[in-house]
Amino acid sequence: MLVTDIKNSQELKGKDLLKLADYTPETIETLVYLADDMKKNKEKYAEALKGQLLGMIFEKHSTRTRVSFEAAMIQLGGHGMFLSANDMQIGRGETIEDTGKVLAGYLDGIMIRTHSHSRIEALAEAANIPVINGLTDLYHPCQALADLLTVYEIKGKFKGSKMVYVGDGNNVAHSLMIGAVMVGMDFTLATPAGYEAAPQVVEIAKGISEQTGAKLEFVENPEEAVKDADFIYTDVWTSMGQEEESAIRLQAFAPYQVNEQLMSFANPDCKFMHCLPAHRGEEVSAGIMDGTASVVFQQAENRMHAQKAVLYSVMKK
């Protein structure tokens, strides 16, 4: 890594990672380069967080977030502690602020996967140790970092590439949009009416795109959106907590399935991306999900490497 890269990484030391927009484009890009180095040179960082403890609070179910964070801490020489909200006092009414103050006395960092973004902000305000966003209803920054690492591995750069997200303007779309324009990628969001990205997030992304020169578009027609796309990304149409809306959502999003026909409008070497879990036959066809254009399992592995870069940057003494 370059000296400037190390300096940018150190800007995160002792700080929270609640959303990507809290940091400079240079720092976010540096995290990707660091993740790439950590993936290629595992032994170099084997004791980077020796003796460090990460508490992992889960108020939402998880496969990738739990396993990738715990594996990341082990590979860095530390330890990740799984903390189910159902087994903690926050599940019985203790405030998130009190929980944060208590855990700060035991741990070196906290990762939380929760509901409202205001909840993680309250936790970060109360705890005097780094707090990392494992997912909220508004943002999923660690997923976006893994996605950017995947793009970097495939393209070797960011600028000059076009990322298109097709589907629900949700937390994954929010962080991916911000992350993409931060590193100079053109980004297009294609959503049906009524399922657009949150206005406050759109305003943040617009401001960043003006700074970096990345092109930012919002369209309703998915075929128009994916023209010249280098990457097409989607997510489930019904997220956790939205199960009662499932039938309505299936109807609204039916034209937004990523399938062979939609991919034909993109660049010939366009890659398919998904944060997983995926529902074949809904947001993506089985042929695309399991085909040669799919890089979804590369993304999934990269969750661990991207999070190692975050953990190293915010927790290293």
Residue 140 catalytic? yes
Q: Is 235 assigned a ligand-binding role in the annotation?
A: yes
Distance of alpha carbon 174 from alpha carbon 34, whole angstroms: 23
Selected catalytic residue, list 52, 168, 257, 275: 275
Whether residue 140 is annotated as binding a ligand: the answer is yes
143 catalytic residue (yes or no) = yes
Structure-token pair, residue 69 = 């964070």
| Residue among 108, 137, 230, 235 flagged as catalytic | 235
Does the annotation list 141 as a binding residue? yes
200 in a labelled binding site? no
Residue 114 assigned to a binding site:
no
156 φψ region: left (φ > 0), alpha (ψ -120 to 50), beta (else)? left
171 is in an annotated binding site: yes
Burial 22-44, CB ≥16 within 10 A → b, else e: ebebebbbbbbbbbbbbbeeeee
Q: Tell me, yes or no, if 113 is annotated catalytic.
A: yes
DSSP structure string for 92-123:
GT--HHHHHHHHHTT-SEEEEE-S-HHHHHHH
Instruction: Tell me if 113 is assigned to a ligand binding site.
Output: yes
Residue 279 among known ligand-binding residues: no
Comparing CA positions, the residue from 315, 313, 230 lying closest to residue 23 is 313
Active site residue 270: no
Secondary structure of residue 237 in the 3-state scheme: coil
Phi, psi of 238 (to 5 degrees): -125, 110
Task: Select which of 36, 52, 140, 186 is catalytic.
Answer: 140
- 298 annotated as belonging to a binding site for a ligand: no
Selected catalytic residue, list 66, 174, 274, 303: 303
Please give the positions annotated as active site.
113, 140, 143, 235, 275, 303
Residues annotated in a binding site for L-ornithine: 171, 235, 239-240
Residues annotated in a binding site for carbamoyl phosphate: 62-65, 89, 113, 140-143, 275-276, 303
Residues annotated in a binding site: 62-65, 89, 113, 140-143, 171, 235, 239-240, 275-276, 303
